[in-house]
């Protein structure tokens, strides 16, 4: 079963997909807000960490909206967005 088939099983699953997407978006926005706050306090190391995770969550949201799934590991997330990459199958996202 593909991720899109999974999320399209019935209306309850479509609602869950919306909720998962909303949670990923909220996490990304929260990380960005924390990064801005830390940046203003001149805590630049922690601000960079929060900004980084904001980007990670934003990229996961893009993958989730397009594929219905997202990589859990950072290295697999990077592979999705490389220009000179082989096509990464959705089933490869969360392999170790």
**What pLDDT score does 1 carry?**
80
- The span from the CA of 89 to the CA of 96, in Å, is 14
The number of distinct structural domains making up the chain is: 1
Model confidence pLDDT, tens digit, residues 3-25: 888 899 999 999 999 999 999 99
Whole-angstrom CA distances from 23 to 17, 62, 76, 83 are 10, 13, 21, 28
B/e letters for 67-77, b = 16+ CB within 10 Å, e = fewer, are bbbbbeeeebb
The tens-digit pLDDT sequence of the chain (96 residues) is 888 888 999 999 999 999 999 999 999 999 999 999 999 999 999 999 999 999 999 999 998 998 888 888 888 887 777 765 555 555 555 554
Domain residue limits at 45: 3-92
Contacts for 31-37 with beta carbons within 8 Å, 24 or more apart? 31/57
Secondary structure letter of residue 93 according to DSSP: T
Backbone phi, psi, residue 86, to 5° = -80, 155
């Amino acid at each position: 079963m593909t991720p899109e088939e999974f999320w399209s099983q019935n209306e309850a699953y479509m609602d869950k997909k919306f909720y998962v997407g909303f949670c990923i978006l909220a996490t990304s926005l929260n990380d960005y807000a924390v990064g801005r706050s830390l940046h203003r306090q001149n805590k630049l190391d922690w601000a960079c960490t929060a900004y980084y995770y904001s980007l990670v969550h934003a990229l996961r949201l893009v993958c989730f909206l397009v594929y219905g799934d997202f990589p859990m590991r950072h290295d697999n997330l990077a592979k999705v967005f490389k220009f000179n990459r082989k096509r990464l199958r959705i089933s490869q996202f969360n392999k170790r």
